[in-house]
Amino acid sequence: MNETTILKRLDQYQCLKDFLGVGWFKKMINNSRPRKHPLHWLLTRDIPYTAAVLHNLTDNLKITLQVIEKDPKREEKEKRLCGKLKNTPEFYSVLPEIEWVAYLKNAGFPVSIEPTYPEKGPDLKVKINGRNIYFEIKSPNNLEENYSDEITDRIRKIRSRFFVSISLRDNFSDEDLFPVIKLIQKKINVFERENICQPVSVYYFSSSDIQEWYGYNGLNPPHDLYSNLMKYPLFWEGHKAKAKVTFHPLKDYSGNTIVGIGGPAKFVDNATWIRKHLSKTLRQLPTNAPAVVIIDVTFSYADDICVEDAIYGNSIYTTLVNTQTGEIADEYWNRERNGIFQSSTRISAVVMYKRKVSNDGFIEFERKIYRNPMAKNSLDKDQISTIGEMVNY
């Protein structure tokens, strides 16, 4: 579905149109940076998919606004909701919130949206079978890509003769993003002005600690590295930098800067990724009531195995060998003790949540719920069946 088609069909999404305004749709559709369009992922899909998601969002938003309408902090919560829908990164986090409000409300349970800024706490409070259950909903699918997109979009517009290779470490954070972008922009200008003809690797430890290594391409170590160990301190200490940026001058090239980006901050295995976000969630959860964490994996490559590794511990294959004969005595699958359920009793259950479009053009949801056997506040079978499909483990 292209942009013109969406504008022509806005009347079919009346609630969404009224809440966000026609002007916002036009402004975002005409945005010169389409990756920053909250609906960019919809514009690249086929018409049935786009129509189904927009219809679903409109219907669920209508129910969500009805829930907020009875809230004493209605204006604040409507403003927060509108702001999130209009903001690209937050759009992906608020979408499952709206879907779960509608799902639980339609199931006949009292729902309240929590909290109101600057308060902190779970996203939803729902009374199921006379018991308050708190829900924290996470959709971290685009976190790593945001770093990549933001840096790439800004740097590749600069005309230069450089290929810029960027590696982001796992301790790279939001506060480092714009200092690194400004650093790269500045270095391109300096190296162009100085007509640099050799590669330069720049190490960003912090905004006040930036070190350079002229002549190093970031890959091949110097031929005298081991005979002059103290000559190349960055070879040994560079791995501690939050970002390493290597500027490769290209012969006979003049155009937009070519950008390559990677590293642990962008590429992380899905089990570690889920476990990381579950750990961050713990401080949001109450200690005296059941708490369910929902992980929206629609836009990720996470599957059941990744979720199980994250919550129960990574799968490992163990082989026991008889030390006297050298023969294999036993072989079996086991788990490491790094699962979130092994370290926290605060999470009652985790739900793996995913949306897809059926053959007849309707949105379908997958809600697999994993119960924490160590939970301080457990859910009963009826509550579990209301929330999702129980996965026996």
Write out the chain's pLDDT in tens, 393 residues. 455 666 777 788 889 889 988 887 776 666 545 455 555 555 555 556 667 778 899 999 999 999 999 889 999 999 989 988 887 667 778 889 999 999 999 999 999 998 865 677 899 999 999 999 999 998 765 444 457 767 887 898 899 999 999 988 878 877 888 899 999 999 999 999 999 999 999 999 999 999 999 999 888 888 888 888 888 899 888 889 999 999 999 988 888 999 988 765 544 567 877 888 888 888 889 999 999 999 988 866 567 888 899 999 988 888 888 888 888 888 888 888 899 999 899 999 999 998 887 777 778 899 999 999 999 999 999 999 999 999 876
Sheet containing strand 124-128, strands side by side: 111-113, 124-128, 131-138, 291-296, 349-357, 363-371, 389-390
Question: How many Cβ atoms sit within 10 Å of the Cβ of residue 31?
Answer: 14
Q: From residue 145, how far is each of 65, 86, 94, 262 by CA, in Å?
A: 30, 18, 18, 10
Name every residue whose Cβ is closer than 8 Å to that of residue 45 and which is 6 or more positions away in sequence. 1, 53
Q: Is 64 helix (H, G, I), strand (E, B) or coil?
A: helix
List the domain boundaries for the chain: 3-119, 158-256
In DSSP notation, 288-308 reads: SS-EEEEEE-TTS---HHHHH
The torsion angle over the Cα atoms of residues 372, 375, 381 and 382, rounded to 10 degrees, is -120
Separation CA 191–CA 245 (nearest Å): 13
